């Protein structure tokens, strides 16, 4: 085979291969970005619904909204988020025989850290010093 023809064939094959690899990598990045956007939207709805159940802001409708958000979060949440959610739900359940503010706060912190980790928001500080708090109108700390 002639050298110029061989070089042209190799160059063409390499160009096609590079284009194919670039296409597939770009598509994967787009899918990852869309998945992350979906997760963020579910987590945003979840936290918004949770905020509606705090203190005097809580209504039966807000409780139902939070229950729906907690149930649908299973579509996108990692297993660590789901485990933290279930621990939080156990801590705040009316059927909990030993409810405590400390258990609530600890479970909420674990849940928030798990969500942030699932969204690739890594804390700059030591996670043990992280303290997440929910705010609502009309409630004094």
Rounded Cα distance, 84 and 73, in Å: 12
Rounded Cα distance, 120 and 108, in Å: 18
Average pLDDT over residues 1-14: 87
Average pLDDT over residues 76-81: 94
* Residue 100: pLDDT band with limits 50, 70, 90: confident
Residue 88 has pLDDT above 80, yes or no: yes
pLDDT in tens, 34-69: 988 999 999 999 999 998 888 777 888 989 999 999
Q: Which pLDDT score is estimated for 141?
A: 46
Structure-block tokens of residue 121: 């928001």
The CA-atom distances, in angstroms, between 138 and each of 54, 56, 58, 100 are 10, 7, 11, 21
Residue 9 has pLDDT above 80, yes or no: yes
Q: Which pLDDT score is estimated for 138?
A: 47
pLDDT in tens, 103-136: 888 899 899 999 998 998 876 666 666 777 666 5
Structure-block tokens of residue 79: 């297993």
Structure-block tokens of residue 103: 């258990």
pTM to 2 decimals?
0.73
Q: What is the mean pLDDT of the chain?
A: 86
CA dihedral sign, ordered 74, 76, 80, 85? negative
């Amino acid at each position: 085979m002639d050298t110029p023809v061989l070089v042209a064939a190799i160059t063409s094959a390499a160009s096609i291969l590079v284009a194919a690899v670039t296409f597939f990598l770009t598509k994967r990045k787009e899918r990852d970005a869309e998945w992350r956007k979906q997760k963020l939207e579910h987590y945003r709805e979840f936290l918004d619904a949770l905020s509606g159940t705090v203190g005097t802001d809580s209504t039966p409708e807000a409780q139902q909204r939070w229950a729906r958000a907690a149930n649908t979060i299973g579509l996108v949440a990692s297993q660590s988020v789901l485990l933290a959610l279930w621990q939080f739900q156990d801590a705040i359940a009316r059927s909990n025989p030993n409810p405590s503010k400390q258990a609530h706060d600890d479970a909420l912190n674990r849940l928030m850290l798990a969500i942030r980790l699932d969204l690739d928001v890594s804390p700059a500080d030591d996670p043990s010093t992280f303290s997440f708090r929910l705010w609502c109108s009309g409630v004094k700390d």
